[in-house]
Amino acid sequence: MLSIERNEVILKILKRKKTVSSQYLCKELYCSLATLRRSLIELEKNGLVKRFHGGVSIVPDTNIEYPHIFREVENQNEKSYACNLALDFIADGYAIFLDSSSTVSHICPSLKKFKDITVVTNGLKTALDLREYDSITTFIAGGQLKENSTSIVGELTGQFIKNFKANLSIISCRGIDEQGIYEANHMQALVKQHMIKNSQSTILLCDSSKFNRSHFYKLDSFTNIDAVITDTAPSKELMNAILSSECEVLF
């Protein structure tokens, strides 16, 4: 098992059990204690887990933004499904804001089917993925490259985005509840708020693992979002909250 795969399995186990022993993880991963220790040290350095003698516990993720390399491998099928639904909102000649999220990055290969697309993004990986397609003109925002991330954020990023007027913003989030949508990091939230403000319409890609999860930084209400695109139906309460703001729900 590769290191990245092992780390992802550890996080999935901890999200479910919260605290486990090292022996339990070694058994589940079919690995030695030394191999497990290396993975746990890496996860702890990234602020995702807390080690203690004989075991490990997950750090509550309310205000933690997981490194992109871990988020990229989470819920891939659900993310791809939502991205496919989002294609109906795109047309030839569109100017589009794409945030730096792993969810939104899944739409990049599908954009090649459109003609004369212009993309503005604060995602380093997203920009690199799009450079392969001759039909897409890509602008990448300047600013601070966030630690353990492929996101470019900060005041310079917001100022850069203000120079453009897009037909569509495609964004994701870290959580969604009846009050609105949330980010784990205020700098990410500010960049996405600039995108929303400077586009004619905005769609939110949000897989069902983010339902009914609030975070400290509120990104926006549903009033400024045209559609929430996900992989399964939200709860009745969440669905009503979204629809009452005249925001569409697609799944």
Q: What is the DSSP string of 154-219?
A: SHHHHHHHTT--EEEEEE--SEEETTEEEESSHHHHHHHHHHHHTEEEEEEE--GGGBT---SEEE
Q: At 120, is the pLDDT very low, low, confident or very high (cuts 50, 70, 90)?
A: very high
What separation in angstroms does the CA of 43 have from each of 55, 57, 178? 13, 11, 32
How does pLDDT run across 150-207, given as a tens digit for each residue? 899 999 999 999 999 999 999 999 999 999 999 988 999 999 999 999 999 999 999 8
pLDDT (0 to 100) of residue 185: 85
**Residue-wise over 147-172: b if at least 16 C-beta within 10 A, else e?**
eebbbbbbeebbebbeebebbbbbbb
Q: Are 169 and 203 in contact (CB under 8 A)?
A: yes
Task: Walk me through the domains of the chain, giving residue ranges and CATH numbers.
Answer: 3-60 (1.10.10.10), 75-250 (3.40.50.1360)
Q: How far apart are CA 195 and CA 164, in angstroms?
A: 9
How does pLDDT run across 19-76, given as a tens digit for each residue? 999 999 999 999 999 999 999 998 888 778 889 889 999 886 555 555 555 555 455 6
Using alpha carbons only, what angle is made at residue 21 by residues 18 and 27, rounded to the nearest 5 degrees? 110
The closest of 188, 182, 192 to 214, measured between CA atoms, is 182
How does pLDDT run across 137-153, given as a tens digit for each residue? 999 999 999 877 889 99
Q: Between 3-17 and 22-29, two packed helices, what is the crossing angle to 10 degrees?
A: 130
Using alpha carbons only, what angle is made at residue 228 by residues 227 and 229, rounded to the nearest 5 degrees? 110
pLDDT (0 to 100) of residue 59: 81
